[in-house]
Structure 1
Amino acid sequence: MRIGKFLDVVEAPGIIGTAMLALGTTPVPHIVTPDDHTAHWLLPRDAANRRPWPWARISRYVKVRTSVTEFGVPGTDLTDGPGPHWVYPDGWDGGHVADEWLVEDLAVCTLGHLGPPAQRCELCPNPLWPEDGVRVVRSRSPLRTLPGNTIRVHPHCARRRGLKPRPGGAQLRAAR
């Protein structure tokens, strides 16, 4: 099957596939690839593009494959074995393709098993992971800095906006 022409493929560590089955809220099966311990869900083409930010928040743990590459889909009756095979959830309703809301359950499972999702950098649209951000003071008034006016941003975004490090700390504040 050519990814991106008909379907997109979501790839996650195998533990997330197991967690999704335990969560029990996603009624579509996934493909397990034992060789590399991954789980894959099929999505309609461009489904992830309709909700880009929720997917970006878990992009460290889950990959959406949309390029035109080959992906081997096992027969729907193949449910065991050393190679790729399907795993069906309880309450399966007969469909094999998830919808764009799959991201919600994936976010719950990645938080519980792999780590927290990213936040949005307040100066750019890219994901900001907890260990990467710095706090900057962004004053609402050019005349004075009000308490509580700090935001989390990427260090390179802060530098680009003319924000500089506070003496004696990793935090940044607006340059004067």
Structure 2
Amino acid sequence: MRIGKILDVVEAPDIIGKAMLALGTNPVPHIVTPDDATVHWLLPRGAAHRRPWPWARISRYVRVRTSLAEFGIPGTDLTDGPGPHWAYPEGWGGGHLADEWLVEDLAVCALMHLGQPAQRCELCPEPLWAEDGVRVVLPRSSLQKLSSDTVRVHAQCARTQASRDRHCGPSTHHITT
């Protein structure tokens, strides 16, 4: 089947597939590929793009494939074996396509078995992983409604912002690690 024309494929480590079955909240089956220890869910084309930030938060653990040339889909009755096969959750309702809400259960399973999801960098739209950020002390403004004066950002974003501030006047930003 050609991917990208009618389907997107979500790929994750096999531990996520096992955790999804144990979690039991998503009634959609996935394809198990034992050769590379991955599992795959099928999404209608573009479904993941309707909720980009939740997918970006787990992008270290789960990948959405939208441009694979080909992807082998086993017969729906193939549920075991050394090659690709389907894993059906308890309470399966008959469909084989997940929707963009699959990301919620994937995030729970990734947190339980692989690590923290990313946070939002306060200065750019890219995911910020726990070990990659720095804290920046921001000046208080009567217009800002922040819970504290520090935010976490990418180190490069902090340097870029500090460079911009130098061109616009004295900076009151302080970077801490």
* TM-score, normalised by the number of residues in structure 2: 0.88
Instruction: Give the Cα–Cα distance (whole angstroms) in 2 for the partners of residues 130 and 42 of structure 1.
Output: 29
State the distance in 2 between where 1:44 and 1:78 align: 22
| Structure 1: runs of 5 or more not aligned | 164-171
Distance of 2:147 and 2:108 partners within structure 1: 33
Equivalent position of 1:32 in the other structure: 32
Residue 150 (str. 1) matches residue 160 (str. 2): no
1:48-127 aligned at under 5 Å gives the runs 48-127=48-127
1:5 and 1:68 in contact (8 A); partners too: no
What is the DSSP-based 3-state SS (H/G/I as helix, E as strand, rest coil) of the residue aligned with 1:131? helix
Matched to 1:39, the amino acid is: V
Q: Which one has a larger percent helix, Structure 1 or Structure 2?
A: 2
- The amino acid across from 1:86 in the alignment is W
Give the structure 1 partner of residue 174 of structure 2. Answer: 173
Aligned to 2:168: none
RMSD, aligned α-carbons = 1.8
Amino acid at match of 1:173: H
Give the C-alpha shift of residue 147 in structure 1: 9.8
- Separation in 2 of the partners of 1:147 and 1:118? 20
- SS state at 1:117 partner: coil
- In structure 2, how many angstroms separate the alpha carbons of the residues matched to 1:114 and 1:141? 39
4+ residue stretches of structure 1 with deviation over 2 A? Answer: none
- One-letter amino acid of the structure 2 residue matched with residue 46 of structure 1: G
For residue 36 of structure 2, give the secondary structure of its aligned residue in structure 1.
Answer: coil
Q: How many residues align?
A: 163
The aligned counterpart of 1:10 is: 10
- Deviation for aligned residue 1:69: 1.5
- Asked if structure 2 preserves the Cα contact closer than 8 Å seen for 1:123 and 1:157, the reply is yes
Partner of 1:21: 21
1:135 matched to 2:160:
no
TM value normalised by structure 1: 0.89
Given that residues 26 and 102 in structure 1 are in contact (C-alpha distance below 8 angstroms), is that contact kept between their aligned partners in structure 2?
yes
- Is the 1:128–1:154 contact (alpha carbons within 8 Å) kept by the matching residues of 2? yes
Give the residue type in structure 2 aligned to 1:17. Answer: G
Letter in 1 for 2:127: P
- Structure 1 residue aligned with 2:47: 47
Identity %: 77
Unaligned runs of at least 5 residues, structure 2: 164-172
Distance 2:92 2:162 in 1: 54
In 2, Cα distance between equivalents of 1:69 and 1:97:
19
Q: How many Å separate the matches in 2 of 1:107 and 1:120?
A: 15
**CA 63–147 in structure 1, closer or farther in 2 if over 3 Å, else same:** closer
What's the CA shift for 1:3? Answer: 1.0
